[in-house]
A and B are shown apart, each in its own frame.
Chain A
Amino acid sequence: MLLNKLSTFSQLNSQIKLMEFPRIIYGSLFYKKKLHSVATTNEKIHNEETTKTMNMYQAINNALEIILEKDSNSVIFGEDVAFGGVFRCTVGLKNRFGNDRVFNTPLSEQGIVGFGIGLANQGITSIGEIQFADYIFPALDQLINEAAKMRYRSGGMFDCGKLTIRTPCSAVGHGALYHSQSPEAYFAHTAGLKVVMPRGPIQAKGLLLSCAEEPDPCIVFEPKVLYRSTSDQVPLEDFKIPLGKAEVVRKGDSITLIGWGTLVHVLLEVADLVEKKIGATCEVLDIMTILPWDTETVCESVRKTGRVVIAHEAPLTNGFGSEIAAVVQEKCFLNLEAPIQRVTGWDTPFPLVYEPLYLPDKWRCFNVIEKTLKY
């Protein structure tokens, strides 16, 4: 049943409309043309009774509403969430569910996460928001030393599995150092946490609904550039996308392209470019869950294609691409026809005016893919 649903969703997902997305993310000065094509709609799947067109923030809002609706022991809290949130993700929820369940906290990230752990200890489904992923660092101690280790250190007596932390991440065109970071790799090094990053409205809703019920503490990184730039026919029902599963977003034979979040859209467009210019087909994977990640789906694809390019916005050194590359070379050594390549942000802080040159955009990806194919 679940599998059927999932395959429907992935088909649905091909309808993603990337409207103003490229201009927002890369700046119109550098790219006159859209970087990403608008996928064609599929009339057969389109069903106005069971789905609704939503952008990503609306899909998240919808998921949060479902959580609050079905679980009376659930709360949403963070900085400025009561009036609807600075990205509109919590709009209308306070009015519907009351100030006891949707509330502002004082401005303290370590407080938000610590407070959420305490709520979760007492069995409350607690969805905390950190306003930007760049500001999650004051809460690292609570996340890494406390949330992640609570079940383990208490021998399973206590846990904070009902805690989910949502936070907007990644580039937005002009976010500079502290409104652009992709800190997933810091958390991928922490046993006990689950870390996800959706690429669009359907994934955002399905993954968030999973995280809320997951018996382990979860962090959802939401690429903020996608909040308004992507829209899907999102199923209105309560559905889940299982954690720890990657998705083959496009089938191909010549090379495996691995990304998550915003980069999946870049890779999809690069796949078109590669097909057009080189005539090779790319298999594009969205790993969706960073920790624990789906080695099986990734290795299966690599065994078929023999070539891998991993792309992420975060810096290269010790980025999550390193982990994927190491595991893939260990498990698929005999299948690899070329060195595994990583196209990532540079090992610098995330800069303001240099953003178009910092990001692993489609031309940087294309260049590396071309070299890998010709290796």
Chain B
Amino acid sequence: MTLFKFSRLLSFVSKPIVQQKLNLSSEPQFLGIKSKYTDQLKFVNSDNYESIPIYRILSTSNEKDLPVKLEEETLIKMYKNMIRITVMDKILYESQRQGRISFYMTNSGEEAVQIGSASALTSNDVIYAQYREAGVLMWRGFKYSQFLNQCFSNFEDPGKGRQMPVHYGSKELNFMTVSSPLTTQMPQASGAAYALKLKKQKACVVCYFGDGGASEGDFHPALNFAATLDCPVIFICRNNGYAISTPVTEQYRGDGIAARGPAYGISTTRVDGNDILAVHHVTQAARDYCINNMKPVLIEAMTYRIGHHSTSDDSTAYRPSEEINIWTQHSPISRFRQYLEKLGLWSEAQETEFQKLTLQEFMKEFSIAEKKLKLDWREMFTDVYKEMPSHIEEQMKNLEDHLKKYGEHYPLKDYKST
């Protein structure tokens, strides 16, 4: 037996190799690549090709013949929503400073990315957000009271007071609940898009993420799965220059996030994220393409994070205030306002009046939300599973017994009781 095997091995080794003249085709036959041979040695790098240009509409020169046709009413609604975000941001940021809520993240500078894209979608389109997309929810109809209930974690927070502030979600508005781990939503968005395709729905998934998040591992399979499995998903990157203190120059060395799209075989474009009309136009075109072709799209919206990363961050520790000032002057809100004023759709008087009314409306809701109790503490134990398993029930009873004896040491008055 062994000998037999050995002889076979020998015969294999000693078999003369017939020298065939290799038929070298002029076209490469390698699997999965459509390319050609070259006799020029050349390394490809970012100097070999042009950077992907930034699409914009609201330029300083000619704004008469715009490619986007929107009703006057819609234009004003878009602007008002941008203002409403800033009012909400200002109050909630301050209230965190006063210790009335535990945490907050503002949207300053990125209102156009949020409202511009949201206004180009339908309510059937599923949103997977990161955390700086409050404007998308607002456009869809999330009320001040709903934002506030979540931030105060009161009994009317649909998340039942379990997550940190700004981790919004709404089943009704097709906006998946936000979670803190960055970019985990991206492959999920691809999966959800595949589901829409399977169910033959005329809708797409829109997934937002930041320039920093794009360095995470999940970015890669999200785009690769979306491309190989033909998923109708629009990935919108908010490239705002910073991930907390890390500037984009320390985040990547390629041509931003957009340059990665074609490498995955994904139709990609870059847009001026401070130009709300350009964002709207690009998103609308992406949505049409996505649904008609059942393929993904990548949009990189160039913008600037005017505010601090969060209430736990002082951004002047790592960036010059002059830089912030420049972008404040060119903010998406001021650019859009100039445009609306030119069209005669908005004025200083309207601005003052609207700001005042919005502030009043928000403060009214604020004082209501702040006074509401938390849910019954037993809600800490529900929804871990659909049904509560016996070991969790046992732990809940355990706490109940403990509180009967030592309840005075806990803030039980803040919670509703059954």
Contact = CB atoms under 8 A, between A and B. Distances in A.
On whether the two chains bind one another, the answer is: yes
Interface of A: 73, 75, 100-101, 103, 105-106, 108, 110-124, 126, 138, 141-142, 145-146, 149-159, 161, 191-192, 194, 215-216, 244, 292, 295-296
B199 interface: yes
Interface string B127-142: 0100000000000000
B204 interface: no
Given A154-B159, A244-B389, A295-B391, A122 B187 contact: no
B179 interface: yes
A122 B199 contact: yes
B413 interface: no
A142 B384 CA distance: 16
B389 A154 contact: no
B219 to A, nearest CB: 10
B80 interface: no
Interface residues of B, number: 50
B188 A159 contact: no
Given A75-B198, A111-B224, A118 B385 contact: no
A73 B169 contact: no
Given A114-B222, A115-B221, A161 B386 contact: yes
21 contacts: A73-B199, A75-B198, A101-B198, A108-B224, A114-B184, A114-B221, A114-B222, A118-B187, A118-B195, A119-B192, A138-B217, A145-B181, A146-B181, A150-B177, A153-B159, A153-B179, A154-B176, A155-B159, A155-B177, A157-B158, A192-B385
Contacts, number: 160
Given A108-B224, A155-B157, A118 B189 contact: yes
A100 B199 CA distance: 11
Contact of A145 (B171, B179, B196): B179
Interface stretch (B102-110, B160-168, B250-258): B160-168
Interface of B: 126, 128, 157-160, 162-163, 167, 169-171, 176-177, 179, 181, 184, 186-196, 198-199, 205, 217-218, 220-222, 224-225, 228-229, 382-387, 389-392
Contacts of B176: 121, 154, 158
Contacts of A123: 195
Nearest to A216: B385
B169 A157 contact: yes
B194 A111 contact: no
Contacts of B189: 118
A106 to B, nearest CB: 5
Of B162, B188, B199, B392, most buried by chain A (CB within 10 Å of CB) is B188
B198 A154 contact: no
Contact of A159 (B157, B163, B191, B386): B386
A154 B162 CA distance: 8
Contact of A119 (B157, B162, B191, B220): B191
Contact of A152 (B217, B221, B384): B384
B171 A115 contact: no
Contact of A121 (B162, B163, B192): B192
Contacts of B199: 73, 122
Given A73-B198, A145-B184, A154-B169, A116 B383 contact: no
Contacts of B389: 244, 292
Ranked nearest first, the 7 interchain pairs of A and B with the lowest CB-CB distance are A118-B191, A111-B221, A114-B187, A122-B195, A154-B177, A118-B188, A115-B191
A164 to B, nearest CB: 14
Contacts of A73: 198-199
Contacts of A158: 169, 171, 176-177
A126 B191 contact: yes
B175 to A, nearest CB: 10
Nearest to A217: B385
B194 A118 contact: yes
Given A105-B228, A119-B192, 6 more contacts: A111-B220, A115-B225, A118-B195, A122-B126, A126-B191, A153-B179
B20 to A, nearest CB: 31
B174 to A, nearest CB: 11
Contacts of B195: 118-119, 121-124
A105 B179 contact: no
Contact of B179 (A146, A191, A215): A146
B260 to A, nearest CB: 15
Nearest to A194: B385
A151 B225 contact: no
Contacts of A150: 177, 179
B129 to A, nearest CB: 13
A153 B167 contact: yes
B31 to A, nearest CB: 15
B217 to A, nearest CB: 6
Contacts of A154: 158-159, 169, 176-177
A330 to B, nearest CB: 11
B180 to A, nearest CB: 8
Given A114-B191, A116-B191, A216 B386 contact: yes
Contact of B191 (A117, A145, A149, A151): A117
Contact of A122 (B163, B192, B224): B192
B223 to A, nearest CB: 10
A116 B188 CA distance: 7
